Amino acid sequence: MAQTSPQKVVSVYLYIPNIIGYMRVLMNCVAFALCFSNKTLFAILYFFSFFCDGLDGWFARKFNQVSTFGAVLDMITDRVSTACLLALLSQLYRPGLIFLSLLGLDIASHWLQMYSSFLSGKTSHKDVKDKSNWLLKAYYGQRLFMAFCCSGSEVLYIILFLLAGNQSESVLDVCLNAMKQSSLLSLILCLTLIGWGIKQVVNIIQMKTAADSCVFYDMKRSR
Q: State the catalytic residues.
A: 78
Distance CA(27)–CA(111), nearest Å, equals 24
H-type helices in the chain, by residue range?
Answer: 6-13, 16-33, 39-62, 68-92, 97-119, 134-141, 143-163, 171-181, 183-221
Distance CA(213)–CA(219), nearest Å, equals 10
Residue 40's alpha-carbon distances to 43, 48, 79, 192, in angstroms, are 5, 12, 22, 19
Taking residue 195's Cβ as centre, other Cβ atoms within 10 Å add up to 21
Taking residue 107's Cβ as centre, other Cβ atoms within 10 Å add up to 16
Helix, strand or coil, per DSSP, at residue 147: helix
